[in-house]
């Protein structure tokens, strides 16, 4: 039962980029098209799942003081593996994503989940958490990517959707579109949240993260990182 | 002349936050007040330049000769993490006044993707050490510039009535978008 609970929390209640505001840089930069979003999401899912498993396996062996360094090394090793795999099998996508593949290692979602969840829970729960968060991240990126691609280029996964008279709104696939789209989605999520909590008569839902506030508020989730 | 063009290009045309979308977390998190934004921005300039120098030597004199180029990511993140820690201890001991003003931002910088991003970009563009340092400095100056602009706008925003659901992060992202739109007007001034 708790496996199911840990799995589903990443899909809506703690949806990584939209609720926890974790790892915003790749969210903004690579979602120029639905395909890029999906590719980036799958890469992050892979690293997140494996790093959760490994961290959870070695959680009793690692001394408390050097745990962050160990987590960073584990995730960096996995990112190198992903880079090599992508170069071998999906080279065009690797080129499209550019420096954002190596930058998965500084994505706070990986370290955040390792520190907040995998280091305290048994392997099967860490798997559930990694899968749920990773799939939530992938879906969010694909959603944002499709939104921007449909408005900005008039296509969805490369297939035209509007017919040939549609004048693409190119701004949406450039940098400004990313900010504006993400801002509007976050606003919409807040709105849904407020309606939901009003219906239940509760105070607004707080975002649970490592340091107790949202990632964006503390500017990088790294207070926990070096302490 | 080339140096001037490099600066224009990296601060305005390819601004690291607004156009390249790197370092968004501090952009949203540390841009409430101008003082904080300035502190964060100067700490980033300092660390980015240092990190670029260290990673440049590691890449050219250790990784490339040994054919270990694929370990770039792993080596860079370890260098940056230990560098930040080292700089923090160094400042604490030798330059307490500087530590007072920059110290609280230093731990936040390790997972700032602007630092690692710049180090990797300098390697991908295959720059020599001198140009690499200038590149790093100009990039992080662009970071400071965007952060200060944002702080200026956000201080004004405090007094306005924003729809409740949009208040905070959402509206600052939308504003970042509008700012990025205006920065796109610089396109064509330099490469």
Residue the block writes with tokens 């602009």: B149
- Name every chain A residue with its beta carbon within 8 A of the beta carbon of B143: none
Test A222 with B174 for CB contact under 8 angstroms. Answer: no
**Distance separating alpha carbons of residues B175 and B77, to the nearest angstrom:** 31
Nearest to B114 by CA among B127, B105, B102: B105
pLDDT at residue B113 above 80?
yes
Q: Least CA distance to B104: which residue of chain A?
A: A223
According to the model, what pLDDT value does residue B43 have? 85
**Distance separating alpha carbons of residues A41 and A39, to the nearest angstrom:** 5
Minimum distance, in Å, between the CA of residue B83 and any CA atom of chain A: 12
**Distance separating alpha carbons of residues B118 and B44, to the nearest angstrom:** 11
Domain locations in chain B? 2-185
**Distance separating alpha carbons of residues A123 and A59, to the nearest angstrom:** 10
Q: How remote is the C-alpha of B63 from its chain's centroid?
A: 25
pLDDT at residue A225 above 50?
no
Half-sphere exposure of A111 (CA within 13 A, CB side): 30
According to the model, what pLDDT value does residue A142 have? 93
Q: Total domain count for chain A?
A: 1
Interacting residues of A220 by C-beta distance below 8 A, sequence separation 6+ = A108, B25, B26, B29, B108, B109, B110, B111, B112
Minimum distance, in Å, between the CA of residue B30 and any CA atom of chain A: 6
In the 8-state DSSP scheme, what is residue B72?
H
Range(s) of the domain holding residue A85: 2-226
Residues 89-118 of A with CB under 8 A from B: 99, 102-103, 105-108, 111
Minimum distance, in Å, between the CA of residue B135 and any CA atom of chain A: 16
- Name every chain A residue with its beta carbon within 8 A of the beta carbon of B169: 21, 183, 186, 214, 216
Q: How confident is the model at residue A1 (pLDDT cuts 50, 70, 90)?
A: low
**Distance separating alpha carbons of residues B86 and A80, to the nearest angstrom:** 25
Test B110 with A225 for CB contact under 8 angstroms. Answer: yes
Residue B89 — φ and ψ, nearest 5°?
-65, -40
- Name every chain B residue with its beta carbon within 8 A of the beta carbon of A184: 170, 174
In the 8-state DSSP scheme, what is residue B30?
S
Q: What is the mean pLDDT of residues B111-122?
A: 89
**Which candidate from B30, B73, B110 shows the least CB-CB separation from A102?**
B73
Confirm if B36 and B151 have CB atoms less than 8 A apart. yes
pLDDT at residue A210 above 70?
no
Per-residue pLDDT of B140-178, as tens digits, reads 999 999 999 999 998 888 888 888 888 888 898 999 999
CA dihedral for B158, B159, B160, B161, sign (positive or negative): positive
Nearest to B70 by CA among A64, A77, A168, A107: A77
Q: Which two tokens stand for residue A49?
A: 């799942």
Extended strands (E) in A79-166: 155-156, 159-160
Nearest to B118 by CA among B34, B190, B50: B50
**Distance separating alpha carbons of residues A189 and A12, to the nearest angstrom:** 10
Minimum distance, in Å, between the CA of residue A45 and any CA atom of chain B: 18
According to the model, what pLDDT value does residue A202 have? 60
Q: Coil, helix or strand for B112? A: coil
Q: What percent of chain A has pLDDT over 90?
A: 41
Q: What is the ipTM of this complex?
A: 0.87
């Amino acid at each position: 039962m708790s496996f199911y609970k840990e799995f589903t929390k990443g899909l809506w209640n703690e949806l990584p980029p939209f609720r926890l505001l974790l790892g915003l840089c790749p969210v903004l930069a690579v979602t120029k098209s639905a395909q890029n979003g999906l590719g980036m999401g799958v890469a992050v899912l892979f690293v997140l799942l494996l790093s959760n498993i490994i961290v959870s396996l070695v959680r009793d062996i690692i001394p408390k003081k050097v745990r962050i360094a160990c987590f960073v090394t584990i995730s960096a090793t996995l990112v190198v593996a992903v880079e090599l795999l992508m170069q071998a099998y999906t080279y065009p996508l690797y080129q499209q994503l550019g420096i954002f593949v190596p930058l998965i290692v500084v994505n706070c979602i990986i370290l955040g989940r390792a520190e907040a969840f995998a280091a305290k829970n048994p392997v099967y729960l860490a798997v559930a958490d990694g899968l749920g968060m990773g799939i939530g991240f992938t879906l969010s990126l694909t959603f944002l990517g499709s939104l921007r691609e449909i408005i900005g280029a008039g296509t969805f996964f490369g297939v035209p959707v509007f017919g040939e008279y549609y004048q693409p709104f190119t701004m949406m696939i450039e940098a400004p579109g990313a900010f504006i789209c993400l801002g509007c989605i976050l606003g919409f999520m807040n709105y849904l949240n407020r309606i939901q909590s009003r219906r239940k008569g509760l105070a607004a839902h707080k975002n649970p993260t490592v340091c107790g506030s949202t990632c964006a508020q503390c500017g990088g989730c790294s207070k926990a990182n070096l302490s | 002349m080339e140096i001037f063009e490099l600066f224009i290009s990296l601060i305005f045309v390819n601004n690291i936050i607004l156009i390249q979308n790197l370092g968004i977390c501090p952009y949203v998190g540390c841009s409430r007040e101008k003082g904080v934004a300035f502190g964060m921005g100067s700490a980033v300039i300092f660390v980015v330049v240092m990190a670029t120098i260290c990673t440049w030597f590691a890449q050219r004199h250790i990784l490339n000769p040994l054919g270990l180029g694929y370990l770039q990511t792993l080596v860079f993140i370890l260098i940056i993490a230990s560098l930040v820690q080292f700089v923090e201890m160094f400042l604490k001991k030798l330059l307490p006044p500087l530590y007072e003003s920059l110290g609280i931002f230093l731990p936040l910088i390790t997972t700032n993707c602007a630092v690692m991003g710049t180090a990797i970009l300098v390697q991908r563009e295959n720059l020599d050490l001198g140009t690499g340092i200038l590149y790093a400095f100009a990039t992080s100056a662009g970071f400071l510039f965007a952060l200060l602009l944002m702080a200026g706008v956000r201080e004004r925003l405090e007094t306005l009535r924003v729809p409740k659901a949009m208040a905070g992060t959402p509206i600052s992202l939308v504003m970042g978008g509008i700012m990025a739109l205006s920065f796109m007007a610089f396109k064509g001034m330099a490469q």
